[in-house]
Homo-oligomer: A and B are copies of this chain.
Amino acid sequence: MEKLYIIKIGGNIVDNPTLLTACLTAFSKLEGQAILVHGGGKLATQLAISMGVEQTMVEGRRITDEATLKIVTMVYGGAINKNIVAQLQSLGVNAMGLTGADGNLIKAHKRTGTSIDYGFVGDVDMVNTNLVKQLLSNSIKLVVAPITHDGKGQLLNTNADTIAQSIATSMSKHYEVHLIYGFEREGVLSDVNNSDSVIALIDRPAYGILKNQKVIFEGMIPKIDNAYLALEGGVQSVIIGKAEKLNQLINGTAGTTIKI
């Protein structure tokens, strides 16, 4: 099967022009099919402040009311997505930026039945694999913003890690999929203050132990849970590490590899 790299870059990369350019340059040199999924970053919060839209955070998550949904649609689907696309085009990559609404790429439903009302937040139901195959086979590299839709006209704010995992899992029927979570650190660290303490390999038993020891905590847990969902869904490999070291992450000389 043909290789497909799905690379997710987080808000800290998106917020930093130098890191972003390094990461996009690495992305432009990738051989084979590739999809970039980007997160949000501080821009949405900054815009909300300057517009006087109050942001409610519950347990570290942004509540997406109507005004916030408009902001994230503008920032993620507009400013960030289109700037990444324009920059990739300048690097010779025929990039195309899409939200989940575009071409019905990702259908989701509004999260309900939780104790917290997250507002216009979507949980993924379906990835349009035909569209993805079609575009990839036309030498287009996709840049996906973390916005989905419900098919009834409603846009939904959706976690970028989950989007990357959903696309990776869905596409694993058609490609040998490698999922890379790029962020600002070298990988999963055994000592959060020491960037040399990268854990090269985490399997299920190790993950359990590291969670118990609180070496892995907070935001890293849903990331690794997503990694396992992807691996169980047929994804070949999941690697977490520094976004701009994309090539080393892929050839296994940097980052943390997650295994079943």
Contacts and interface: CB of A to CB of B under 8 A. Distances in A.
Interface of A: 47, 50-52, 70, 73-79, 81-83, 85-87, 89-90, 94-99, 101-104, 131, 134, 138, 140, 147, 149, 151-155
Main secondary structure of the interface of A (DSSP, over half): helix
Contact of A82 (B73, B79, B86, B152): B73
B83 A155 contact: yes
A74 B79 contact: yes
**Copies of this subunit:** 2
Contacts of A51: 47, 50-51
Contact of A83 (B73, B76, B83): B73
Contacts of A87: 153
Nearest to A105: B96
Contacts of A138: 131, 134
Given A73-B78, A82-B101, A83-B73, A90 B151 contact: yes
A175 B199 CA distance: 57
A95 B89 contact: no
